[in-house]
Amino acid sequence: MKRVDDFRLRLGSHELVPIMVGGMGVDISTAELSLEAARLGGIGHISDAMVPTVSDRRFNTKYVKNKLKQYKFNVANSDKSVVQFDLGLLAEATAMHVGRTMEAKRGPGLVFINCMEKLTMNSPKETLRVRLQAAMDNGIDGITLAAGLHLGSFALIQDHPRFNDVKLGIIVSSLRALQLFLKKNARTGRLPDYVVVEGPLAGGHLGFGMDWAQYDLATITAEIRDWLKAEQLDIPLIPAGGIFTGSDAVNFLEAGAAAVQVATRFTVTTECGLPEDVQQEYFKASEDQIEVNGISPTGYPMRMLKSSPAIGSGIRPNCEAFGYLLDAKGNCQYIDAYNREVAAHPEDAKIKVWDKTCLCTHMRNFDCWTCGHYTYRLKDTTRQNADGSYQILSAEHVFHDYQYSTDNKIALPSAPAAV
């Protein structure tokens, strides 16, 4: 009976344990989590979502406060087009986040950054270019381009001295999306070093419509694998979404995948950025408490716990402080939804907005409890404490369980020492 450890992922000169911990914004896949994956010989991801905000929390900088001060005059205005990010400060924050993570890296694995195109930041091209370049300047091992089609993203960095040295990957959810990317990207003369195939059971935003349940990761992965073979393109495929046990991973590796990307099982580890009370909500969740809804202003469906405080919250848009989802014209779907509700309920001091959410604020505050489909199985991966809460795991424990388990078994952590 095979186990994940019988396989290796080859990326250039690197030979890795074929486990990649997926990016989880906003600072849910922390530097600490990514460093553990790298120390253990796999690949970890930090996320570049809302890095100035993350930097304030981690390094005591004042990016958010200063940006709010600069644009305070605009808070009551629904036109947010003046609210621009300072590109120099954005580069500085990214340099700090990436640089400090890479300085701390130990072991044979790699640390990548998950970069979401849908973080349009009121100036999509320029802010993305700065984020990518600053990550490369500060030693990131690889960049996974996520949430969006990224058709022009390689071109934004093709003059960078590390363009051919840094590992570049994309996330797709269909063969069509991959074909489109390869076609548009052909003029850079650079193929992706790996392709993450993300199926409908993943956490975060989905690359499917509300008909997500009709799709299946194994089928999409096989379709892409066969097409790449027919085209004689040798690009490692990394399926993601609902791979919950080491045996699930082995099934994909035996079917030709080069590695697997996993995330949900790591949401309940000490190294993960979610506060412990939120981790307990993940443990407690039952299947019917998890939904895919349309409240993200990005327009992509998103999976989350129905009890997320973000759902229905009618807070005033916080674009002067954050503003990561403002499009090229300074619009965000939440601003429209919020203004509509304010106009409909002029007397109310507190309003509710159900169809969209202020994702920046709620992700920043860990109030949008996005999660993978199998979150309801997390309680089976640990022990319950005497007070009914669940034991938080170490990332090493979860990583090793994926690496060494067989027979669909999940190893429980050792019981805490009696006091």
Adjacent-strand bridge partners of 177: none
How is residue 302 annotated by DSSP?
Answer: E
Choose between 374 and 390: whose C-beta lies nearer to ligand FMN. Answer: 374
| Contact pick of 91, 177, 240, 393 for ligand FMN (by CB under 6 A) | 240
Rg of the Cα trace of the chain?
A: 21
Q: Is 221 in the site for ligand FMN (CB under 6 A)?
A: no
Choose between 198 and 271: whose C-beta lies nearer to ligand FMN. Answer: 198
The least CB distance from residue 273 to ligand FMN, in Å, is 9
Return contacts of 67-70, CB within 8 angstroms, 24+ apart.
67/320, 67/321, 67/323, 68/320, 68/321
Choose between 120 and 267: whose C-beta lies nearer to ligand FMN. Answer: 267
The least CB distance from residue 362 to ligand FMN, in Å, is 13
| Contact pick of 30, 47, 84, 127 for ligand FMN (by CB under 6 A) | 47
The least CB distance from residue 375 to ligand FMN, in Å, is 8
Q: Is 357 in the site for ligand FMN (CB under 6 A)?
A: no
Q: What are phi and psi of 201, to 5 degrees?
A: -100, 5
Tell the residue number behind the tokens 């802010």, with chain if given: 127
> 203 by DSSP, 3-state: which?
coil
The least CB distance from residue 292 to ligand FMN, in Å, is 13
User: Per CB under 6 A, which region of 226-234, 312-320, 329-337, 366-374 contacts ligand FMN?
Assistant: 366-374
Q: Is 333 in the site for ligand FMN (CB under 6 A)?
A: no
Q: What are phi and psi of 293, to 5 degrees?
A: -130, 180
Site for ligand FMN in 258-277 (CB under 6 A): 261-264, 267
Please say whether the beta carbons of 239 and 197 come within 8 A: yes
Choose between 68 and 303: whose C-beta lies nearer to ligand FMN. Answer: 303
| Contact pick of 171, 302, 332, 335 for ligand FMN (by CB under 6 A) | 171
Please say whether the beta carbons of 312 and 353 come within 8 A: yes
The least CB distance from residue 184 to ligand FMN, in Å, is 20
Rounded distance, CA 264 to CA 305, Å? 13
Choose between 338 and 376: whose C-beta lies nearer to ligand FMN. Answer: 376
Rounded distance, CA 410 to CA 393, Å? 13
| Contact pick of 109, 142, 273, 372 for ligand FMN (by CB under 6 A) | 372
Rounded distance, CA 160 to CA 156, Å? 9
Q: Is 246 in the site for ligand FMN (CB under 6 A)?
A: no
| Contact pick of 4, 17, 19, 28 for ligand FMN (by CB under 6 A) | 28
Please say whether the beta carbons of 122 and 135 come within 8 A: no
| Contact pick of 64, 116, 128, 237 for ligand FMN (by CB under 6 A) | 116
| Contact pick of 203, 207, 301, 330 for ligand FMN (by CB under 6 A) | 203
Residue 152 exposed, middle or buried by CB count within 10 Å (0-12, 13-18, 19+): middle
| Contact pick of 17, 24, 98, 326 for ligand FMN (by CB under 6 A) | 24
Contacts of 70 (CB under 8 A, 6+ apart): none
Choose between 22 and 297: whose C-beta lies nearer to ligand FMN. Answer: 22
Please say whether the beta carbons of 138 and 94 come within 8 A: yes
Choose between 217 and 228: whose C-beta lies nearer to ligand FMN. Answer: 217
| Contact pick of 18, 19, 25, 295 for ligand FMN (by CB under 6 A) | 25
Considering only CA atoms, which of 396, 393, 392, 413 is closest in space to residue 107? Answer: 396
Residue type, 228: L
Q: Where are the alpha helices (DSSP H) in 255-352?
A: 276-284, 333-344
Q: Is 113 in the site for ligand FMN (CB under 6 A)?
A: no
Q: What are phi and psi of 304, to 5 degrees?
A: -160, 170
Choose between 264 and 405: whose C-beta lies nearer to ligand FMN. Answer: 264
Residue type, 365: N
Size of the site for ligand FMN (CB under 6 A): 30
Q: Is 204 in the site for ligand FMN (CB under 6 A)?
A: yes
Question: Which pair of tokens denotes residue 358?
Answer: 């202020």
Q: Which residues bind ligand FMN (CB under 6 A)?
A: 22-25, 28, 47, 49, 114, 116, 146-147, 171, 198, 201-204, 240-243, 261-264, 267, 370-372, 374
